[in-house]
Amino acid sequence: MLHKKGFVSWLFVISILLTACAPKTQVVDGPGLATIQSDLVNQLDVEKIYATAEELTKEPRVAGTESEKQAAAYLIKELENYGYDVGVQPFTFERYVMPEKTDLQLAGFEGTFTPAPFHYSVSGTVTGELINAGHGLKEDYDKIDAQGKIAVVTVERTYFYELVLHASKAGATAILIHFPEDNPIDTWTLGKHSDDYIPALALSHKDYMKISKNMDKKATVTIEGARVDQSESQNIMVTKQPDAEQDASTDIVIIGAHYDSVDQAPGASDNASGTSVVLELARMFKDVTTTKELRILFFGAEEEGLYGSKKYVSAMTEDEIKRSVAMFNLDMVGSADAGELAIQTVDGMNNAVTIPASQAYEALNGDSLSTDFGGRSDHVPFHEAGIDAALLVYSPLEKWYHRPEDTIDKLSKDRLLQVAKIVAASTLEMTLPTDSKE
């Protein structure tokens, strides 16, 4: 799953309000239960899922590196063993390399600061006067002369990249972005690279308090080693055509997961878990007769900005998009230490994915699963293309999200199997001929 994006608490408030307003899934009795107890679903082998995750988590699988390529090769080999013709969709993307050093100094000030870089912040060493630019909005700069100065702004409600661009446009040479007390600094992102950025650092409330008493002193902002590299990655794809003997429809059902990880994290939960479950679903589906086309996708470079899924969707024809009725995205579906299973859509609304998934969940657990907001993974490009898409994830995320501690021992077999069963039952329900569902 992708890092947290742009804005802060107000979005959280809105999302709570909207979640409260989102219609609860109607749970219908019947086929959900029969399907989830079917022989096919019972065939899912959690030991195989776990073994795949073990194989994938031997080292981090950072997009564009040799280890991501090895993970792709492993998936191709397994899919070929199952008897699939495997497609590879290569693509290039801009890979951001985080700075090696970030520093903030005030001339004549004894104390120290611990600022954090933003993902996509540019390198640079800048010395200049500090200027308070309020909330860093366009109108804040109309009232001040920020030319050649280092802007200090307090985050309110906008995207971080906009704060950086407003400051840059006003002639500021760097920007310090203050996070109020209830918003701790973290690895936030500017979303994507821009040549118009100036060096940008996140300031904790504590550091901001020190700065605000010393606004008359000259500051030096240092960011070293941040850069953008052109890199290559690939999506791995298999397609299962509907059986012509059946009353085949032209609909397409898509199941996907990203297989890359962030730097230094073996990425067991994020996202060897989803990858391994999807690979097991591919095994289960291999010899199943279906009435719809099934596409099973493994995305590269999700962590760098959903590059794989964006590439896949951009290469779909209008006809393919129209025929695609559902996209199940599995990202972080096995952590023993995360919250409960959640199903998330970009708009928080139910759709052709959430409804069967919720029914399957109910058949398994006896209570329903309501749809939540979530837009930080590979279902987003599909949603934006107008395809019903949703993310399955255990939420809230575990403590070691994106950390070296995201190792294989943190995965729960029960949790992996639960998601495998839910997606299997949902997609079987959509793709099996009616008579074979009895």
Question: Which is closer to Zn ion, CB of 302 or CB of 388?
Answer: 302
Using CB under 5 A, which of the segments 43-51, 80-88, 199-207, 265-273 binds Zn ion? Answer: 265-273
Measured CA to CA, the distance from residue 322 to residue 252 in angstroms comes to: 9
Q: Least distance in Å: CB of 391 to Zn ion?
A: 12
Q: Least distance in Å: CB of 270 to Zn ion?
A: 4
Q: Least distance in Å: CB of 310 to Zn ion?
A: 16
* Cβ contact 362:423 at 8 Å: no
State which of positions 231-250 bind Zn ion (CB under 5 A). none
Question: Which is closer to Zn ion, CB of 203 or CB of 411?
Answer: 411
Question: Which is closer to Zn ion, CB of 117 or CB of 274?
Answer: 274
Rounded to whole angstroms, what are the CA distances from 41 to 122, 315, 419, 420?
49, 32, 11, 8
Q: What is the DSSP string of 383-414?
A: HHTT--EEEEEEESPPTTTTSTT--GGGB-HH
For Zn ion, the nearest residue by Cβ is: 1
Q: Least distance in Å: CB of 4 to Zn ion?
A: 11
Rounded to whole angstroms, what are the CA distances from 293 to 40, 254, 311, 318?
18, 9, 20, 16
Using CB under 5 A, which of the segments 188-196, 218-226, 267-275, 367-375 binds Zn ion? Answer: 267-275
Q: Is 64 left (phi over 0), alpha (psi -120 to 50) or beta?
A: left
Question: Which is closer to Zn ion, CB of 1 or CB of 170?
Answer: 1
For 48, the 3-state DSSP assignment is helix
Measured CA to CA, the distance from residue 316 to residue 139 in angstroms comes to: 41
Question: Which is closer to Zn ion, CB of 295 or CB of 376?
Answer: 376
Q: Which of 270, 304, 388, 406 binds Zn ion (CB under 5 A)?
A: 270
| Residue 350 in tokens | 């139910």
Question: Which is closer to Zn ion, CB of 197 or CB of 312?
Answer: 312
* Cβ contact 284:277 at 8 Å: no
State which of positions 1-40 bind Zn ion (CB under 5 A). 1
Q: Least distance in Å: CB of 271 to Zn ion?
A: 7
Using CB under 5 A, which of the segments 176-184, 264-272, 403-411, 424-432 binds Zn ion? Answer: 264-272
Using CB under 5 A, which of the segments 76-84, 157-165, 186-194, 269-277 binds Zn ion? Answer: 269-277
Phi, psi of 176 (to 5 degrees): -110, 120
Measured CA to CA, the distance from residue 353 to residue 50 in angstroms comes to: 25
Measured CA to CA, the distance from residue 117 to residue 98 in angstroms comes to: 8
Using CB under 5 A, which of the segments 16-24, 150-158, 216-224, 266-274 binds Zn ion? Answer: 266-274
| Total of residues contacting Zn ion (CB under 5 A) | 2
Q: Least distance in Å: CB of 375 to Zn ion?
A: 13
Question: Which is closer to Zn ion, CB of 1 or CB of 268?
Answer: 1
Of 235, 238, 240, 236, the C-alpha closest to 428 is: 240
Question: Which is closer to Zn ion, CB of 208 or CB of 373?
Answer: 373
Q: Least distance in Å: CB of 15 to Zn ion?
A: 19
Question: Which is closer to Zn ion, CB of 50 or CB of 401?
Answer: 401
Question: Which is closer to Zn ion, CB of 25 or CB of 309?
Answer: 309
Q: Least distance in Å: CB of 19 to Zn ion?
A: 22
Angle at the Cα of 331 from the Cα atoms of 413 and 325, rounded to 5 degrees: 115
Rounded to whole angstroms, what are the CA distances from 332 to 21, 47, 297, 394?
26, 18, 16, 6
72 forms bridges with which residues in the sheet?
A: none
Residues 6+ apart with CB under 8 A from 30: none
Residue 160 burial by Cβ neighbours in a 10 Å radius (0-12, 13-18, 19+):
buried
State which of positions 376-395 bind Zn ion (CB under 5 A). none
Question: Which is closer to Zn ion, CB of 150 or CB of 262?
Answer: 262
Spatial strand order of the sheet with 324-330 comes to: 87-97, 227-240, 293-299, 252-258, 324-330, 389-395, 340-345, 371-373
Is residue 44 within the footprint of Zn ion (CB under 5 A)? no
Using CB under 5 A, which of the segments 96-104, 227-235, 262-270, 429-437 binds Zn ion? Answer: 262-270
Q: Least distance in Å: CB of 179 to Zn ion?
A: 21
Residues that bind Zn ion (CB under 5 A): 1, 270
